[in-house]
Amino acid sequence: MDKILINGLTIYGYHGVNEDEKTKGQPFVLDITAYADLAAACRSDNVNDTISYAQIIKKIKIVFNDRKFDLIEALAQYLCNVLFAEFDRLVHVDLRVTKPRAPILADFDSVAVEISRSRK
C-alpha cells in the first residue's frame, strides 16, 4: 500500500489530565502516515487523484482543539476518525501524538502515543 507521510507537524493544544494543560496549553507534535492507493495519481500527476497532504494538515489544524482530551490516546483516535470521515481514499492511518513538554518530573525528550487504524 502506498503512503503519504507527514512528520513533525507541531500544533499548540490544550489536552492533558492536569488543569494547567487545559488552560495554558503546550505544543504537540504529530506524525501521520496515511495509506491509500496512489497509482492513479502516479499516472495522472493530478492532485485530485490523491489525498493532498496540505488538506490533511489543514483539516487536522482545524479540528485539533475542537475538544479538550485528558488522554493523548483519545485525541489520536479522534483525529483518525476525522481523517477517515474527510478522505474517502484513506484506507489506513498510523498516527503518533507526541508531547515534548509533558508535565512529568523527570529528564526526558518527549512522551508519545502511536495508534494504527484501518477503515471499517
Number of domains in the chain: 1
Separation between Cα atoms, residue 56 and residue 47, nearest integer Å: 13
Cell of 105: 518530573
Spell out the per-residue pLDDT of the chain, length 120, in tens.
999 999 999 999 999 999 999 999 999 999 999 999 999 999 999 999 999 999 999 999 999 999 999 999 999 999 999 999 999 999 999 999 999 887 777 777 778 999 999 998
Q: 99 catalytic, yes or no?
A: yes
Angle (CA) 82-100-24 rounded to 5° is 75
Q: Any idea what the CATH number is for the domain that residue 10 is in?
A: 3.30.1130.10
Question: What is the extent of the structural domain holding 53?
Answer: 2-118
Active-site choice (3, 59, 68, 99): 99
Count Cβ neighbours within 10 Å for each residue of 11-25 and write b for 16 or more, e otherwise.
eebbbbeeeebeeeb
Which pLDDT score, from 0 to 100, does residue 11 have?
98
Residues 6+ apart with CB under 8 A from 118: 91, 92
Residues 6+ apart with CB under 8 A from 16: 22, 26, 70, 99, 102, 103
Which pLDDT score, from 0 to 100, does residue 108 have?
74
